């Protein structure tokens, strides 16, 4: 993507039978673009915001608000770290949409934001949560679903600014303002106990829908009016750290009372188990050929 190695590295590791942690080729590939990922959610009936592919700039957007929702958020299909997503991406009229699309197809500082197309999805007004999963979808007994955490956005922000915009996430502030009194953009907290199981279930359902392996972070929003949960995305090969100031994984570990070392051990164990099973399958195939 944009000249940066990604799926090619995973593919080479698997071709050479090198044991590696994290996503396999399928999971990495299906979650790199939001298009196949969301299609997988839809196929598995995992609740996610209504969405539409805008494609290469020639897609008819005449009925976009009728098809998707009165308020939409427009995103690059392929992006990381909120690249290409800001307050201006919350759209409610065709004029603003046309201006935004023009800017997105022009790119950002040399980055091609439209390399995988652009999607529009219904903006879910409400709370935001994130969950960490380690292990493999086809080995649920060994998988670990961590206690979800809520991203609690600064109280001064209106509802339509309570999401991870690029400027504020990375404290660039080219187009958006910082929080008052140099306070944090958001804090983490553990959601009420009544939500934990539902958040874990929809996270696992999304992981299975994309045939997750290795580890992932699942982002979820809850509609403030209906209380319904929506999966935004599954982040294969998400950034991990012990410090919550660098990644949300640090906050998840803190609230789950687990060390970073324990997380790394889980990730390593999954890699070795997958390699062992792959080796067993190869031996069975060899025996059949000999027989």
β-pairing, 229-236 with 186-189?
Answer: unpaired
pLDDT cut 70: percent of the chain above it: 95
Domains of the chain in sequence order: 7-47+124-148+190-290 (3.30.470.20)
Question: In the chain, where does DSSP find H-type helix?
Answer: 7-15, 25-32, 34-43, 64-67, 94-106, 166-169, 193-209, 248-256, 260-290
Residue 267, pLDDT > 80, answer: yes
User: Has residue 57 got a pLDDT over 60?
Assistant: no
Output the pTM of the full model.
0.92
With bands split at pLDDT 50, 70 and 90, how would you rate the model's confidence at 115?
Answer: confident
- Measured at the alpha carbon of residue 132, what is the angle toward residues 53 and 33, in degrees to the nearest 5? 20
Query: Tokens at residue 158, please?
Result: 């209106």
| Cα distance between residue 105 and residue 112, in whole Å | 7
Q: Is the pLDDT of residue 3 over 70?
A: no
Higher pLDDT, 4 or 151: 151
Strands 126-134 and 149-153: antiparallel
Length of the chain: 291
Average pLDDT over residues 108-137: 92
Q: Alpha carbon of 24 to those of 11, 21, 142, 210: distances in Å?
A: 8, 8, 17, 11
The answer to whether residues 73 and 121 touch, using CB atoms and an 8 Å cutoff, is yes
Q: What pLDDT score was predicted for residue 282?
A: 76
pLDDT (tens digit, 9 = 90+) per residue, 24-40?
999 999 999 999 999 99
Q: What is the pLDDT of residues 136-167, one digit of tens each?
A: 999 999 999 999 999 999 999 999 999 999 99
More confident residue, 246 or 159: 159
pLDDT over 90 at 92, yes or no? yes
pLDDT recorded at residue 56:
61
* Other Cβ atoms closer than 10 A to 206: 29
Would you state the structure tokens that stand for residue 126, as one six-digit string? 């409400």
What is residue 175's predicted lDDT score, i.e. its pLDDT? 92
pLDDT band at residue 18, thresholds of 50, 70 and 90? very high
At residue 59, the pLDDT reads: 66
In order, the DSSP letters of 48-89 are ---EEEEETTTS--TTHHHHT-SSEEEEESS-STTTT--GGG
Q: Can you give the pLDDT at residue 290?
A: 65
Q: How far is CA 269 from CA 129, 196, 216, in A?
A: 27, 26, 15
Nearest alpha-carbon partner for 89 in 103, 102, 77, 75: 75
197-221 pLDDT per residue, tens? 999 999 999 999 999 999 999 999 9
86: its two tokens: 């800001």
Residue % of the chain over a pLDDT of 90? 79
Buried b (16+ CB within 10 A) or exposed e, 74-105: bbbbbbeebbbbbbebbbeeeeebeebbeebe
In which band, very low, low, confident or very high, does the pLDDT at 291 lie, cut at 50, 70 and 90?
low
Q: In the predicted model, is pLDDT for residue 70 greater than 90?
A: yes
Q: Terminus-to-terminus CA distance in the chain, angstroms?
A: 45
Residue matched to tokens 């800001």: 86
């Amino acid at each position: 993507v944009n000249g940066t190695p990604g799926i090619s590295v995973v593919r080479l590791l698997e071709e050479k039978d090198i044991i590696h942690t994290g996503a396999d080729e399928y999971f990495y590939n299906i979650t790199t673009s939001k298009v196949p990922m969301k299609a997988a959610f839809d196929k598995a009936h995992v609740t996610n915001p209504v969405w539409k592919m805008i494609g290469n700039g020639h897609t008819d957007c005449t009925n976009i608000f009728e098809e998707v929702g009165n308020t939409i958020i427009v995103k690059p299909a392929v992006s990381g770290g909120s690249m290409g997503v800001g307050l201006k991406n919350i759209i409610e009229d065709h004029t603003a949409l046309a201006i935004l699309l023009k800017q997105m197809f022009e790119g950002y500082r040399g980055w091609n934001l439209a390399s995988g197309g652009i999607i529009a999805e219904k903006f879910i007004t409400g709370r935001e949560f994130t969950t960490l999963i380690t292990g493999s979808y086809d080995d649920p007994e060994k998988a670990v679903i961590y206690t979800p955490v809520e991203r609690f956005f600064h109280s001064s922000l209106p509802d339509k600014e309570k999401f991870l915009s690029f400027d504020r996430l990375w404290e660039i502030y080219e187009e958006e303002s910082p929080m008052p009194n140099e306070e944090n953009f958001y804090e983490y907290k553990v959601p009420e106990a009544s939500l934990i199981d539902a958040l874990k279930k929809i996270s696992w359902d999304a992981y299975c829908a994309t045939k997750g392996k290795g580890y992932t972070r699942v982002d979820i929003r809850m509609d403030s009016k209906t209380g319904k949960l929506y999966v935004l995305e599954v982040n294969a090969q998400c950034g991990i750290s012990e410090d919550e100031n660098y990644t949300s994984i640090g906050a998840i570990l803190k609230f789950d009372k687990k060390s970073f070392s324990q997380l790394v051990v889980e990730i390593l164990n999954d890699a070795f188990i997958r390699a062992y099973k792959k080796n067993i399958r190869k031996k069975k195939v060899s025996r059949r050929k000999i027989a």
